A and B are shown apart, each in its own frame.
Chain A
Amino acid sequence: MIKDETHAPPGERLRSLLCVDDNPGSLKLVELFMLHRPDIRLLTAVNGKSGLEIAWVSRPEVIVTDINLPDMSGFKVLESLRADPATTRIPVIALSANSLPLNVESGLESGFFRYLTKPIQFKEFLATLDLALAHAEKNSTKDQLRKRAGQQ
């Protein structure tokens, strides 16, 4: 589902966040959080398959995925994103009720940008999102430098 009611403030670029979660409550909460961020367009998906399809088509700057999705795990979503050159550098944030340190360690070791535990905390979520956006921006700059260097 794509909600496009956002407007980037003048001079700022509109960026996209894809949130993959089958829990309507979690999606609603992220939607409410994003009311504070008019510079972000929120895309949502309720399962891994549609999440991947949206990611491949829309190339969001940041992806947040639940770990326990109905059709595949968040780890599988991450693996599929990393396997595709078009999405391999997108920061992916895990969002899960599995909050043991062991879960967090294995999530980060697998390649998630950050591992957030539920219940979602407003400040933590937005701070992590900002870090991920900054990371995406840095990657994008590097890609542009690489392209330019390749052309020379």
Chain B
Amino acid sequence: MTEELKNERAPDLFTVKRGTDANSALQRNTGEDDFPGDFAKLKLTVIRPVFEAVGNGLTESGHQINIAEEPGGKISIHILPPGVSKSIHPYDWFPTLSFFGAPFTKTIGLHGRNARRNSDGGSGERGVYKLPQVSKELVEKELKKFVGEIANW
């Protein structure tokens, strides 16, 4: 069997069931069917903790934060800048940064949404990454950059 095929083999059941060592799961070469599982682990161990940590800091400076995750899907952080009233609007109406999985290409997309016109920080794609590229440092850097862009929202 070629080296390439060996790398592509799906993890054995023990590895899948155990599933506790997220780092080792992310470091191994992703197989054919484990992308959703690896993305779920990435959300749990990397993206959400950074969203929460940065979000806590933002809350202290007067922002309102909401972290939303669709089961098996994207994770988003909605940010209401200080002084902005949510009123009856859904969180989607406010600046949002989302990481989502693209299963066909096995990549992670980063999109920003910023509903208000004439404010810095446009909407759209902000990056496409392979699973191992999405580190805490990257998430923190991108989130802080986004927060900086919506400062005058």
Residue A102 lies at the interface, judged by CB distance under 8 Å to chain B? yes
Q: A105-B74, A149-B1, A149-B2 are in contact. Are A91 and B111 (CB under 8 A)?
A: no
User: Of A100, A109, A145, which is in contact with the most chain B CB atoms at under 10 Å from its CB?
Assistant: A109
Residue B98 lies at the interface, judged by CB distance under 8 Å to chain A? yes
Contact between A113 and B124 (Cβ–Cβ < 8 Å)? no
| Cβ-defined partner of B5 (8 Å) among A113, A135, A146 | A146
**Chain A minimum-CB-distance residue to B4:** A145
Q: How many residues of A contact B (CB 8 A)?
A: 18
Residue A112 lies at the interface, judged by CB distance under 8 Å to chain B? yes
Contact between B105 and A113 (Cβ–Cβ < 8 Å)? yes
Contact between B2 and A145 (Cβ–Cβ < 8 Å)? yes
| Cβ-defined partner of A112 (8 Å) among B101, B104, B125 | B104
Q: A142-B8, A145-B4 are in contact. Are A101 and B113 (CB under 8 A)?
A: yes
Task: Give chain B residues whose Cβ lies under 8 Å from the Cβ of A152.
Answer: 1
Q: A101-B111, A142-B8, A149-B1 are in contact. Are A109 and B74 (CB under 8 A)?
A: yes
Task: Give chain A residues whose Cβ lies under 8 Å from the Cβ of B104.
Answer: 91-92, 108, 111-113
The size bracket of the interface on B is 20 to 34
Residue A126 lies at the interface, judged by CB distance under 8 Å to chain B? no
**Chain A minimum-CB-distance residue to B109:** A108
A101 to B1, CA, bound (A): 42
Residue A104 lies at the interface, judged by CB distance under 8 Å to chain B? yes
Instruction: State the majority secondary structure of interface residues on A.
Output: helix
Contact between B100 and A101 (Cβ–Cβ < 8 Å)? no
The contact string, 1 if C-beta is below 8 Å from chain B, for chain A 97-129, is: 000111011001101110000000000000000
**Chain A minimum-CB-distance residue to B126:** A101
Task: Give chain A residues whose Cβ lies under 8 Å from the Cβ of B103.
Answer: 109, 111
Residue B15 lies at the interface, judged by CB distance under 8 Å to chain A? no
Q: A113-B105, A135-B105, A142-B8 are in contact. Are A105 and B100 (CB under 8 A)?
A: yes
Q: A101-B123, A102-B113 are in contact. Are A108 and B102 (CB under 8 A)?
A: yes
How near does chain A come to B104, taking the closest CB pair, in angstroms? Answer: 5
A102 to B125, CA, bound (A): 11
A149 to B103, CA, bound (A): 25
Apart from the given pairs A101-B112, A101-B125, 19 other A-B contacts in the complex at a CB distance below 8 Å: A101-B113, A101-B124, A102-B92, A104-B111, A104-B124, A104-B125, A105-B74, A108-B102, A108-B109, A109-B100, A109-B101, A109-B103, A113-B104, A135-B105, A142-B4, A145-B2, A145-B4, A146-B5, A149-B5
Chain A interface residues (CB < 8 Å from chain B): 91-92, 100-102, 104-105, 108-109, 111-113, 135, 142, 145-146, 149, 152
